[in-house]
Amino acid sequence: MKTIEKRISELDKDEITNSLNNKGYTVIKGFIADNECEILKKLYDTGNFRKTVVMERHRYGRGEYKYFDYPLPDLPSAIREQLYPLLSAIANSWMKALKNNTLFPGSHSQLLKQCRDNTQLKPTVLILKYGKGGFNSLHQDIYGDVYFPLQAVLFLSQPDEDYTGGEFVMTEQVPKAQSKPIVLQPKKGDMLIFTTNYRPVKGLKGHYRVTMKHGVSEITGGERYALGIIFHDAVS
């Protein structure tokens, strides 16, 4: 089986860049194998976690998710480290287009140092589990003053086999206009990369900021697992 580094090196970087620039998301089909999905799902009961969140208690939705503690499991840790340089180049082009002076470092270890310097010490890689009736309200994963504008999610369950419903939902808020809904249903093993909070869109007078949020629609049957990869760390 190919290493994560090899898989990422073989990605169509131009296609990923264009999709993120034009839509705010991109789907990489079959990025991890079925057995890797099953290994990650088992971690829900056996992994080393720092925090468990019951979504209903906080009005985040209905379901449960758990934040891994350091050291992270090998597979998400490798994805976080190896995917970051590609995405940091895209993120920096976004900042330049929006005339934002923020500059993201070239390596993930340097980003984590920025987080530590800002007292953001808690890992944010998480695994989510929804049962029938579960959903995730629209939100953004910020966690502190230092945050990276792109993140990823691995889909660990097969739609229409393991669960029904449970589409991945995003909204795009163009200034002075109504929100645009985006509904996706990636397959088991797919990786979705998408914007954490906003992306640049070119208008008549230059680029402007389009705000995006994401969530999960109601699961109508079965169980849905996913693993979120957020590149910045959290204050708590």
Q: Strand runs (DSSP E) across the chain, as ranges?
A: 25-28, 49-54, 61-62, 64-68, 126-130, 135-139, 150-155, 163-165, 168-173, 180-184, 191-195, 198-203, 206-216, 219-222, 224-230
Q: What are 81's two structure tokens?
A: 């480290």
At 153-201, the pLDDT tens digits run 999 999 999 999 999 999 999 887 889 999 999 999 999 999 999 999 9
In angstroms, the Cα distances linking 79 to 129, 143, 173 are 21, 20, 29
Query: Per-residue confidence at 205, pLDDT binned at 50, 70, 90?
Result: confident
CATH numbers and ranges of domains, the chain: 4-230 (2.60.120.620)
At 99-112, the pLDDT tens digits run 999 999 999 999 99
**Cα–Cα distance measured from residue 157 to residue 152, given in angstroms and rounded to the nearest whole number:** 16
Mean residue pLDDT of the chain comes to 97
